[in-house]
Amino acid sequence: MSPELPGTYVNLLVQTLQQWNVSAEQLLAGTGISTHHLEAPFWYIDFNIFNYLLERAILLTHEPAISLYLSQEMKVSCYGHIGVAAKAAENLGQAIKILEQYIGLHCLVFKPKLNIIGDKAYLYFYQPLQKFKFNNHGVMFLVLGFSNILKDLAKTDLNIHIEFKQPAPTFYENNHLLNCSFNKSYDCLIFDRKLLDFPLETADSMVLRLIQEQCKRDIEKLSLKQGKINSIYSQVKQLACNEENIGSLTLKQIAQKLHTSERTLQRQLTNEQTSFQNIIGEIRRQQAENLLRENQLSIKEISERLGYADISHFSRAFKKWTSVTPKFYREASLK
């Protein structure tokens, strides 16, 4: 299962592409994401889909510097109440510490870390998950975007120098807006350490205290969620999802892969208030809805991929889940 990123990144991308008259529908086509998602107050997107959307945005606009334009739209509000806490901080250093401490609540694949060396402050950016790395466009967007966040918080130019591990992109030679170096050891922002004491106009101690309490509660919720990710339920679901034809693996085969007995696995799933059939049903429903929205396979092909004997069995199951037929669901999602 891929990690998730704040959906506000996609909102920013949609907003940015308006400069090239590229619509949200054009950008999101085939991803299973609808324009209704963009209206949500805070939502999440699959990590791999976001990487894909960056590449697609370049193809649609013929603009290789899309990450630069996107980063200029980045504001601290993209991180929800964590952004509110950062804005309420007393000074820039405290705001950075808040982002450093809590940003993992919304973005597990991208971690900022502040270090002080001599008279310079170094804000490093790490990608801690080995299997999930941003493409070069994503790294530029997030690092440059963070630079823009700091400027937005301070309401002044901080004379930040930016270093990237990646080679210089082709568009950089023709762009004089960036104070960047490439082929370095780390992705990081470098600025005068004295700027950490720079007072913020938006400082509010009461708001900061209240929002930090909310952040702490969110950490507790995240711990519970991560516990669920490591549960037997999630392990079984991931193994079943890895099969091309959903339902082709039996409970006995899943148990063998988990090095346990079929009876023990059944008991563990019961303890987590679920069953193997419930998990297969969840997977089939999620994949059915995604495939119907993508509109690339016929309903018969979707039925076969999900392991149903025929379309009628699939239609009955889908109507039980959603109260509508697959055909109606597809037509409604394409309007």
Give the model confidence (pLDDT) of 220-272 as tens digits.
666 555 555 557 887 888 788 766 666 678 888 888 888 788 888 888 888 87
pLDDT > 90 in the chain, percent? 45
User: Which of 40, 51, 38 lies closest to 5, judged by CA?
Assistant: 51
Given a cut of 80, is residue 106 above it in pLDDT?
no
Identical topology for domains 4-221 and 232-333? no
pLDDT value at residue 213? 85
- What is the rounded CA–CA span in Å between residue 102 and residue 111? 10
**Fold category of 232-333 in CATH:** Arc Repressor Mutant, subunit A (1.10.10)
pLDDT digits (tens, 9 = 90+) for 29-78: 888 888 888 988 778 888 889 999 999 999 999 999 999 999 999 989 88
**pLDDT, average across residues 148-157:** 94
Q: Which residue has the higher pLDDT, 3 or 202?
A: 202
Q: What is the pLDDT of residue 291?
A: 87
The residue type of 166 is Q
Mean pLDDT of 68-93: 92
d(CA 291, CA 31): 10
Report CA dihedral (92, 94, 143, 24) to the nearest 10 degrees: -90
pLDDT at 86: 94
CATH of 4-221, one of 3.90.1520.10, 3.40.50.300, 1.10.10.60, 3.40.47.10: 3.90.1520.10
Structure tokens, 28: 């999101």
How large is the angle between the packed helices 276-294 and 262-271, nearest 10 degrees? Answer: 70
- Residue 149: is its pLDDT beyond 90? yes
* Res 43: pLDDT: 84
Per-residue confidence at 152, pLDDT binned at 50, 70, 90?
Answer: very high
281 in helix, strand or coil?
A: helix
The CA angle 269-271-275, to the nearest 5 degrees, is 30
* Reported confidence tier of residue 134, pLDDT bands at 50, 70, 90: very high
Distance CA 110, CA 75 (A): 16
Estimate to the nearest angstrom the gap between the alpha carbon of 109 and the chain centroid. Answer: 8
pLDDT score for 40: 83
pLDDT score for 63 = 94
Q: What DSSP letter does each residue of 108-145 carry, written as one string? A: TT-EEEEEEETTEEEEEEE---TT----HHHHHHHHHH
Q: Has residue 169 got a pLDDT over 70?
A: yes
The b/e string for 183-210 (b: 16+ C-beta within 10 A; e otherwise) is eeeebbbbbeeebbebebebebeeebee
Q: Which residues contact 105 (CB under 8 A, 6 or more apart)?
A: 82, 215, 218, 219, 222
The overall pTM is greater than 0.75: no
Instruction: Name the pLDDT band for 175 (thresholds 50, 70, 90).
Output: low
Both tokens assigned to 326: 């697959």
Q: At residue 189, does pLDDT exceed 80?
A: yes
Q: Would you list the domain boundaries of the chain?
A: 4-221, 232-333
